[in-house]
Chain A
């Protein structure tokens, strides 16, 4: 069975600082991987996805993620965080059209 682990429950970062959110997955082959963001009271918005090819994926809002097969990881990064990036971030995978999500990482941005 597949699973996703997000080791960090909560991260606080200063505005303008860099951000990295960790995601580890368990699956027998290379799954399709996603990062979603959820603002309070909202649904999920897709930031980026990885299916195959270049292991560095660019997404919306200045986010990027790197797929590392050897580490079973798909970490999300942003070079300079804005106050509007405060939200909950979910990593997800799917081999079969149903998404399996991690428990999420809450990001707080301080001025």
Chain B
């Protein structure tokens, strides 16, 4: 049974560019949450998707947007990249109303 799959594992982008990160949830899960983990910090909640809609959002600017597809997979898009966006981006899946989160291994984004 596959867990949460994230792609790519590593990515290097230039300031001002746009990036798309992808997440496939664990089989049976229908909710996807995204977290940003800066070096030496705990993960920070970005947003959560369920039924293809953004249900909750953390304190992140509109440059961060997302999407959920009918098969429950999700994308995180970041526009106009800043150096400060360099971080590990984690995807977590769960079943709606359930606190059993499964995390992926993350995408390491470096902005230069």
A interface residues (Cβ-Cβ under 8 A, vs B): 4, 32, 34, 36, 41-46, 49, 51, 90, 92, 94, 96-104
* With A32-B99, A94-B99, A97-B99 as contacts: A44 and B58 at CB distance below 8 Å: no
How many B residues face the partner with a CB closer than 8 A?
22
The residues of A that contact B106 with a CB separation of less than 8 Å are 42-43
The residues of A that contact B40 with a CB separation of less than 8 Å are 103-104
Cα distance A100–B45 in the bound complex, in angstroms:
7
Inter-chain contact A45/B56, CB cutoff 8 Å: no
17 contacts between A and B (CB under 8 A): A4-B42, A32-B99, A42-B106, A43-B103, A44-B103, A49-B99, A90-B43, A96-B56, A97-B33, A97-B94, A98-B45, A98-B48, A99-B43, A100-B45, A101-B42, A101-B43, A104-B42
Inter-chain contact A98/B56, CB cutoff 8 Å: yes
The residues of A that contact B104 with a CB separation of less than 8 Å are 43
Inter-chain contact A98/B103, CB cutoff 8 Å: no
Cα distance A94–B94 in the bound complex, in angstroms:
14
Mask of B99-112 contacts with A, CB within 8 angstroms, 1/0? 11101111000000
